[in-house]
Amino acid sequence: MRTFGVRRALISVAAVSAFAGAGAILPAVAQDAAMQVPVVPSAPMAASALEQPAGPALAEAGGTELPALPSPAAGQTAADAALNMANMLDGAGGGISNDDLMSALQGAADAGQPMALYRLGVMYENGEGVEKDPVKAFGYFSQIANDHADAAPKGLEADIVAQSFVKVGEYYKEGLPGAGIVADADRSYALLMHAATYFGDADAQYRVGELYLQDDKIGINPLQGARWLSLAARKGHVAAQAKLGDLLFNGDGIQAQPAEGLMWLTLAHNGTVGTADEGWVNDLLTSAMSLATPKERSDAVKMIKKYGPQFTAH
């Protein structure tokens, strides 16, 4: 088996602050949104406040036991609430025009309401009811990140703030010339890590796991990748479940655990039926099932029955 160089899986909030650094102000790029580089809390958080993979959250070699974890929090997320808010306005009556709907959202955004800012950012990012404008989208997401970087990690709108860090990090990864943003992998990584560690955001943790499997810059490290994917998978993130399952089943750079791999692949498959991810997840599961032994399949079924409800998104 190959050995891999070990790199610190985490950067402290202080290190993230150093990445953000001084001189964060960007030129105004739109009449309605002068933008700043998102910052993070100036005071370092205690290490215990950060969610991080302390070790492989995987079954012990040769066994099928997983430590019990609490179920993912049930209920509506703030991101869902932002979408529902827009849908509610859209269905409020035939007498309301699109201009009135935008005015209502913009008014709430001007008042600093994160849900409205996030919804407008998504609309401009995807061209939903407005002309696609990544510069404006960046402005809304960065405003949320700037204003709420040190919000309570388990607060009502924490998922919106975390996702805003993820989105702004993606813009820094690719660069956004219209906003004066040049590609900056270090800043992108810092923003992503803040979402993954301080907020414990599942999508951010999934993306960090992907980086450790693919990005030479931070050092390819399948074990660290598996640890981060496991954090996201246990919160019901189906893409993380699929990637973790494939990694464990095949033992690519880590010790193979086929039964647990099949468990994660099956949970991911069940969670992606009827979605855009169904095809590639089904391909991974089909391939693994064709290679699995009867005992591995049987063990996987037992694990799904015992642990599956904990790791299914609600």
Q: Are residues 168 and 282 in the same domain?
A: no
Q: Are residues 33 and 176 in the same domain?
A: yes
Give pLDDT, residue 156: 84
Asked if the structure places residue 224 within a domain, the reply is no
Q: How many CA atoms are closer than 13 Å to the CA of 53, on its beta-carbon side? A: 27
Q: Are residues 187 and 312 in the same domain?
A: no
d(CA 198, CA 220): 23
d(CA 53, CA 50): 10
Q: Are residues 38 and 170 in the same domain?
A: yes
Asked if the structure places residue 219 within a domain, the reply is no
pLDDT at residue 122 tops 60: yes
- Token code pair at residue 87: 């849908």
Q: Are residues 186 and 298 in the same domain?
A: no
Q: Are residues 165 and 281 in the same domain?
A: no
- Token code pair at residue 99: 């201009």
- Token code pair at residue 11: 């950067």
- Token code pair at residue 312: 């299914």
pLDDT in tens, 31-61: 233 334 444 333 333 333 456 664 444 433 3
Q: Are residues 82 and 191 in the same domain?
A: yes
pLDDT in tens, 9-24: 222 222 223 323 322 3
User: Which range of residues forms the domain containing residue 196?
Assistant: 10-44+76-200
What is the number of domains present in the chain? 2
pLDDT at residue 7 tops 70: no
Q: Are residues 196 and 241 in the same domain?
A: no
C-beta neighbour count of 157 within 10 angstroms: 21
> Which of 10-14, 59-63, 85-89, 107-111 has the highest average model confidence (pLDDT)?
107-111
Identify the weakest region by mean pLDDT among 44-53, 168-177, 182-191, 256-265.
44-53
> Which of 88-92, 176-180, 234-238 has the highest average model confidence (pLDDT)?
234-238
Asked if the structure places residue 161 within a domain, the reply is yes
Q: Are residues 162 and 244 in the same domain?
A: no
Asked if the structure places residue 213 within a domain, the reply is no
CATH number of 188's domain: 1.25.40
Rounded (10°) angle between helices 238-250 and 258-272 = 150
Q: Is 176 helix (H, G, I), strand (E, B) or coil?
A: strand
Asked if the structure places residue 226 within a domain, the reply is no
Identify the weakest region by mean pLDDT among 92-106, 147-161, 169-183, 206-220.
92-106
pLDDT at residue 289 tops 70: yes
Q: Are residues 40 and 100 in the same domain?
A: yes
Asked if the structure places residue 5 within a domain, the reply is no
Give pLDDT, residue 86: 54
Confidence of residue 97 (pLDDT cuts 50, 70, 90): low
Looking at per-residue confidence, does 82 or 296 come out higher?
296
Q: Are residues 286 and 144 in the same domain?
A: no
d(CA 314, CA 310): 10
Q: Is 95 helix (H, G, I), strand (E, B) or coil?
A: coil
d(CA 89, CA 169): 30
Share of the chain above pLDDT 90, in %: 62
Q: Are residues 183 and 81 in the same domain?
A: yes
Give pLDDT, residue 115: 93
Asked if the structure places residue 58 within a domain, the reply is no
Asked if the structure places residue 210 within a domain, the reply is no
